[in-house]
Amino acid sequence: MIEISLINKNIYGSIDLESSKSISNRLLIIKKLCKTKFEIQNLSNAKDTKILNKILDDFEIKKEINCEDAGTALRFVIAFVATKKGIWKVSGSKRMHERPIKPLIDCLIELGAEIKYLEKEGFPPIEIKSKKLKSKKLSLPGDISSQFISALLMIAPTIENGLTLEITSKVLSKPYIDMTLGLLSEFGINYNWENNLIKVEQQNYIAKNIKIENDWSAASFWYSFLALSKSGEIKIPNLCANSIQGDSVLSSIYSKLGIKTEFNEDSIVLHKTKNIVKEIELDLSNNPDLALPIIVTCCGLGIKVHLMGLESLKIKESNRLESIKRELRKFNISCEIDSSSIKIKESQNIVKPKSTIECHNDHRIAMSIAPLCMKVDSIKFDNKNVVNKSYPKFWEDFDRVSKNNN
């Protein structure tokens, strides 16, 4: 448990975020697939990345792989070991065994891997026996987890005669696929994405040392803190305007929520403004991880808000729409949800929760709600360590900033 408060509701300081977990995880896979060694600087300290790194270090001797609650690691590892010789059992936490993987498994089987489900069809755990994968034209709907598509794209250059992916419907979380392809290109892989076909020929990764930029999605919580503060200014090093991270769209979204982003050569600085809209409607199908901090910001500012394109949130660490609705009720905030959207129709009187905020074993629930401490005396959370999954220093950063301003 942890309790947070910020007495004077001002926030000034510099926040050195974790590096991008999404980039880190992709680079770890690329490094293992590359025939020549290279150095990765500023690798994320997120729990997910540490789990993936350990698995990749040990996979040749440990044939039972436990990905714990690291969804990205599980999906990427399944595709990765399918390219290697051996038999592996891949499992995870109880929640991971409730998160579907059938589209990825079906594709790997089509490519030649032998895979069987060990419990419930379509879900982990699985046993995978790798064979030489051979080229196929695979069809996948675009509204599945983008991690399935990214996992296949990263192994595509190692497949005999390459791989063609046909995306049969609108792509959700497209920036994450763009990120994967951008990193492939960075390491010498040529590809072609025309209309709904992505083609990657068989070829070798070309090694190069690389430094990972910091995590734009983690910056969202500090945008929210500043937007709800009385006054403040926040500097965030190692973020840039021309980022390969789709969540850099934050700067544009929050320009309507009272935050101006100043871009410098090696940092951004966030400033408060009076430019706040009365209502906002956004399609976040490309950036679903931003939905929770945005909804909390709008609650705190008293803005009517309608966020759409959130289908993927129900299969995250928790059903995020259900979880955030339940926890916001403790602040006297009422919102409407359906399977893909969340809406707040009117300004509401925010009150201090009488009970502890449940994190639902979901890092983004905890960090998204934390900025509401700008509107109430204090907030208690039931799980301090839940943030370790993506941003281990979150409470430490908050504590340091709060001491600067109390």
| Paired strand residues for 261 | 270
Of 48, 69, 247, 289, the active-site residue reads 289
What is the layout of strands, in order, in the sheet containing 231-237?
Answer: 10-14, 231-237, 267-276, 257-263
Q: Is the peptide bond before 175 cis (omega within 30 degrees of 0)?
A: no
C-alpha angle with apex 288: 27 to 370, nearest 5 degrees? 95
| Paired strand residues for 139 | 166
CA-based radius of gyration for the chain: 21
178 flagged as catalytic: no
48-87 in b/e form (b: 16+ CB < 10 A) is bbbbbbebbeebeeeeebbbbbbbbbbbbbbbbbbbeeee
Burial class (CB in 10 A: 0-12, 13-18, 19+), 308: middle
Q: For residue 239, what are its two tokens? A: 């973020």
In the DSSP assignment, the letter for residue 387 is G
Q: For residue 258, what are its two tokens? A: 């009272």
List, by residue number, the catalytic residues: 289
